[in-house]
Structure 1
Amino acid sequence: MKVRIAVALVVLALTSACGSPEAPQAVTVTPVNAMPGGAEEIGTAPAAGNADCDREASLRPGPQPAPGAMPPGSTMANILARGRLIVGVDQSTNLFGSRNPATGQLEGFDVDLARELARSIFGDPNRVDLRVVTAAQRETALQEGQVDMVVRTYSITCDRKKKVAFSTPYYIAKQRILATKNSGIRTAADLSGKRVCAVKGTTSLAALFALDPRPTLYGVGQWTDCLVMVQQGQVDAISTDDVVLSGLLAQDRRNLELVGASIGDEPYGVGVKLENQDLVRFVNGALDQMREDGTWERLYQANLQQIAPSPGPPTARYQD
């Protein structure tokens, strides 16, 4: 008991001598929302793609070989011998190519189309190796032989056709605008003085850069990066193909809305290495079969019906 009293007296004496301890000063830290890695303002005109070709025309298919019976010496025979079709796809574009967080599996219209092309070669849709490529990596992946083809919302342009061979279009998208609600943005003209996001290496940036007056443009690596930036207030809108925007809208309907008329058409094609013309003809033959036997419609209903009623597959146009 005496010890406790002594300790209490010492503590009281020290407190009296030193004074009451000062209360800690409040520190205010302003949170900073960092931009996604690789995001940058676009100050120079991206490649726009010219109109000196019939961009939707492709090589006419010949007699379509049966699965497992590819012509000897053909690109398809080499793929058959390897045992897998290697396809470049996306993992961040909802509805076309995204990774299911619950299963870890890639899914979407483009992914299902890639599986159907594997079915055309092997008779088995699972004989496909899906490799994730960014928009900026598509041409390099084909030219360096990293993939056999790219099925990744790949818009056909005349400039791209000088470097990559394309199938006939399997989907025609429309470039539109995804804006925050109550932003005042209703048309492309309303983008003047606004900040707009698009993925680097896409035709969307070129179309936006051509607007007069031009908005402030930011380029990123993935469309989900644009979604993060608009949610953090770092940009006012996103502009690209309507189907891509619909996939982003599905993730934040509370704050975003799809607005404006089409800025332009975007035909999607399967990209193939320029030298592999036999593979282009084969893919076109497979797409013809998908249009005729209802496979295209089945893929649409499985992946895209929430966007709008099916427009039906695009009509193929061929050149010899």
Structure 2
Amino acid sequence: MRIRVAVTVAVLAATAALAGCAGDSSDLPVLPDQPKVAATPPAPGGEQAAPPACDPRASLRPAGALPAPGDMPAGSYMATIQERGRLVLGTSQDTLLFSSRNPFSGRIEGFDVDMGRQIAQAIFGDPDKIQIKVIGYDKRVSSAADGSVDLVADTMTANCARWADVNFSSIYYEAGQKVLVSKNSTAKRIEDLGGKRICSAAGSTSFDNIGKVKAKPVLVAVARPAFGDCLVAFQRNEVEGISTDDTILAGMAAQDPYAKVIGEKFTDEPYAMAMNKSHPEFTRFVNAVLERNRADGTWKKTYEKWLGDFGPAPAPPGARYR
């Protein structure tokens, strides 16, 4: 039997129902003050006009040099945050290495959390002037869109559908979907698991992607409420593997000495931070912070702090602008 118990696993399992980790495929609720964009009207002749081209990686260009911490421009959303005295960050608490609750200190920490702290540092000169709000993976878009958080950093893939509802920063991490299996598995890639039961979170894009893998016979996709539940199912031999973003799988493998991540990534998942569309100046500000951090080595140091055990830090993703 492949049954393992660890303190961290227990913590993650207990919190899995509260927050998820990968992209969601559910629709965004229509908010009273933010109606959905109307469909493109039919072109002359009755044919539907082609939608405008979208580059989900292209964000809003920074507007000049960063203001000094504590001296945000009057009337800007950064000034609103400064006056409030804290930045509100939406993230999860069960994505080890990116945003998880430390069982000893009780603090939520990780690569994504540090991305938020760097924005707080730029506004206040103090990275600790931050309030972390735990949100479910299916609430990331709506939390940014309705203003209940200032910023979402939560292993969140920027895509064109989400751009309709929120603004994204430039890309700060390149992820991709892989699969986790037992160390005694002979599989080298997900296609080698035909007929096996592969777990992913219900309603996630990761779950949808399993059905697109060309394996013979087809993979059996097993849905669980969150990825913490998938890890428990894997350890109980109820499934043969888990498939989601490689970042999330790396956290699971770090907890479980009997698991490994295999194969090349079979999707591209560019992570970006999400913000309300009503404050484009805030998106430009966040992008200016990311630009500075790429150039001065802060991004590299953050990678080495949280992900250095998996190899040398790659070059940070380059920014693209609209």
TM-score between both structures, scaled by the size of structure 2: 0.80
- C-alpha displacement at 1:146, in angstroms? 1.3
Q: Deviations over 1:75-127 (max 9, x none)?
A: 11111111110001121111101111111111111111111110011111010
Cα offset, 1:183, TM superposition:
3.6
SS in 1 for 2:278: coil
Tell me how far apart the structure 2 counterparts of residues 101 and 130 of structure 1 sit (CA, whole Å): 16
Match of 1:233 in 2: 237
Would the aligned equivalents of 2:26 and 2:138 in 1 still touch at CA under 8 Å?
A: no
Which residue of the partner structure matches residue 54 of structure 2? 53
Report whether the alignment pairs 1:294 with 2:297. yes
- 1:62 is matched with 63
Say if 1:52 and 1:158, in contact at 8 Å, map to a contact too.
no
The one-letter code sitting in structure 2 at the alignment partner of 1:106 is I
Q: 1:147 to 1:236 in 2, by over 3 A?
A: same
Within a 5 Å distance, the mapping from 1:99-178 to structure 2 comes to 99-178=101-180
1:170–1:180: structure 2 CA closer, same or farther, 3 Å change rule? Answer: same
**136-145 or 119-128, larger mean C-alpha shift:** 136-145
Code of the residue aligned with 1:126 in structure 2: it is: D
The residue number in structure 1 matching 2:37 is none
Contact 1:51 1:158 survives alignment (8 Å): no
Report the counterpart of residue 189 of structure 2 in structure 1.
187
| Structure with greater Cα Rg | 1
Deviations, residues 249-287 of structure 1 (Å, cap 9, x unaligned): 01112x211111211221100111122211111100010
Q: Does the 8 A contact of 1:155 with 1:203 survive in 2? A: no
One-letter code of the match for 2:307? L
SS in structure 2 at match of 1:190: helix
Tell me, yes or no, if structure 1 residue 283 matches structure 2 residue 286. yes
Q: Is the 8 A contact 1:136 1:200 kept in 2?
A: no
> CA 1:47 to 1:138, structure 2 compared with 1: closer, same or farther past 3 Å?
closer
The 1:249/1:143 distance shift into structure 2, 3 A limit, reads: same
Q: Decide which moves more: 212-221 or 279-288.
A: 212-221
Shift of 1:51: 11
Cα distance between partner residues in 1 of 2:293 and 2:204: 27
Match of 2:6 in 1: none
Question: Structure 1 residues 300 and 184 mapped into 2: Cα distance closer, same or farther (>3 Å)?
Answer: same
Amino acid at match of 1:233: N
- Among candidates 205, 222, 228, match of residue 226 of structure 2: 222
Amino acid at match of 1:55: P
User: 2:208 is paired with a residue of what secondary structure?
Assistant: helix
Q: Which runs of 5+ in 1 are unaligned?
A: 1-34, 39-44
The answer to whether structure 1 residue 261 and structure 2 residue 264 are counterparts is yes
**Alignment correspondent of 2:311:** 308
Residue aligned with 1:286, SS: helix
Calculate the TM-score normalised by the size of structure 1.
Answer: 0.81
Q: Alignment partner of 1:284: what SS?
A: helix
Percent identity among equivalent residues?
41
Instruction: Give the distance between the partners of 1:247 and 1:60, measured in 2 at CA.
Output: 33
Instruction: Quote the residue 1:79 is aligned against.
Output: 81
Pairwise CA distance, 1:225:
1.8
Partner in structure 1 of residue 94 of structure 2: 92
Q: Distance in 2 between matches of 1:219 and 1:153?
A: 19
- AA paired with 1:279? F
1:123 is matched by which residue type in structure 2? G
Q: As a proportion of its length, which structure holds more strand?
A: 1
Letter in 1 for 2:267: G
Tell me how far apart the structure 2 counterparts of residues 201 and 282 of structure 1 sit (CA, whole Å).
32
SS class of match (1:159): helix
SS state of the match for residue 268, structure 2?
strand
Aligned to 2:8: none
One-letter amino acid matched to 1:249: A
SS in 2 for 1:261: coil
SS at match of 2:293: helix
The partner residue of 1:248 within 228, 252, 255 is 252
The alignment of Structure 1 onto Structure 2 pairs a total of residues equal to 277
Shift of 1:218: 2.7
Contact 1:46 1:209 in 2 (8 A): no
1:140-185 deviation per Cα after TM superposition (whole angstroms, max 9, x unaligned): 2112221011000111111111112100110101211101233443
Q: SS at the partner of 1:176?
A: strand
